[in-house]
Structure 1
């Protein structure tokens, strides 16, 4: 059985890796997006900033436990542990909502302007790499959220999943437009639907963190 300390170390390690990866992905996406005048690709890069902030919350939350010498798990968390979980969970929930608003706003702007997806190879390549990377990051984050029974880690897993889903939307939109010029709207509409789903997850996270029965774990509706 993996010790609580090792699980927390894994949570910090994977969060640090997420920060580094998403920072690099964000820079590459914005540079290529600006070069090809692709609003979708630029937004894709900006969304990486939200994932960086979310992963930073996880790193802060568990590093705080290390500093205070709380490296074991128990059924009942201390008031300090609850405060850490509540603060980090609320922050990540807010980031999910911010990502929702940004995705919907960008997609609506693209639909109104009849903006067509870029035909450059950069968009599908970046999206494909992101899909693989986000999936490999999401799996262990989901496991750690359950193993640690951490609302914060659950939120980080949801944030990674949302980025994975938006990557799929970007890839599908790019590929469809290459074969069907009339399908320029597909990625924007798909992104709006996906955004509404993880926006609701963000609302649930904040409501759970503010609940009087909040215990720092994953609530039944969040599991």
Structure 2
């Protein structure tokens, strides 16, 4: 196996790991978020499921560029991007509406302990993935893989938001902070959805800025 082939294999492995991790994170976060009535944790988990769809497109992209380095984005990738974009927008509408309702009614989560735990784990895992993807992207001189690394970095930011909102509630019991954290997650989800549509309609590989 050539060095290039080895790096593409690692890149594909990172993409598959990202998919599997997001599935597990989504299942655990939505369940615990529902049980603890923490909208921020539940929304974080729902975002993880959407990232799975995006991850499938990334894995497919890596296989494509390995086989045909100069090829353009194909129908599978464009469809995955559009589905992901619609899903992010739908999530934003649901989270914003529920957040505002919770603020209006004064709803408080039962606990946010698991939000703290899950966010810390997510920060560590996602940061390791960012570093791994950046290293492989530089070795292959691949703009698409480097762009994916930047998108994974957005997941780190969202994890930090979950950590801050969950931690503040655990320490001081400020009820509306869970909803404020959810609105912040919605902001990033909106921009991720926007970027998905931009990617689907062009051949550029945005950096999820």
Bin for the TM-score computed over the shorter chain:
0.7 to 0.9
**Residues 145 and 41 of structure 1: is their aligned pair in 2 closer, same or farther, counting only changes over 3 Å?**
same
Alpha carbons 2:112, 2:167 under 8 Å: kept: no
Does structure 1 residue 189 correspond to structure 2 residue 176? no
SS in 1 for 2:37: coil
Q: Which residue of 1 aligns with 2:38?
A: 38
C-alpha contact (below 8 Å) 1:134/1:161 kept by paired residues:
yes
Q: Unaligned stretches of 5+ in structure 2?
A: none
State yes or no: 1:82 paired with 2:72: yes
Inter-CA distance 193–173: structure 2 relative to 1 (3 Å threshold): closer
Instruction: Note the 1:112-191 alignment, pairs <5 A.
Output: 112-113=101-102, 114-145=106-137, 147-150=141-144, 153-154=145-146, 156-181=148-173, 183-191=174-182
- State the shift of 1:194 in Å: 4.9
- Cα drift, residue 22 of structure 1: 1.4
* Structure 2 counterpart of 1:99: 88
SS of the counterpart of 2:73?
Answer: helix
Task: Specify the alignment match of 1:110 in structure 2.
Answer: 99
Report the aligned-residue RMSD: 3.2
Compute the displacement of 1:23 (Å).
1.4
Unaligned runs of 5+ in 1: none
- Pick which of 89-98 and 32-41 moved more: 89-98
Report the CA distance between 1:148 and its aligned residue: 1.2
- Mean alpha-carbon deviation: is it higher for 117-126 or for 51-60? 117-126
Q: Structure 1 residue 163: deviation in Å?
A: 2.5
**SS of aligned partner of 1:83:** coil
Corresponding position of 2:27: 27
In the alignment, the residues of structure 2 paired with residue 88 and residue 154 of structure 1 have an alpha-carbon distance, to the nearest angstrom, of 17
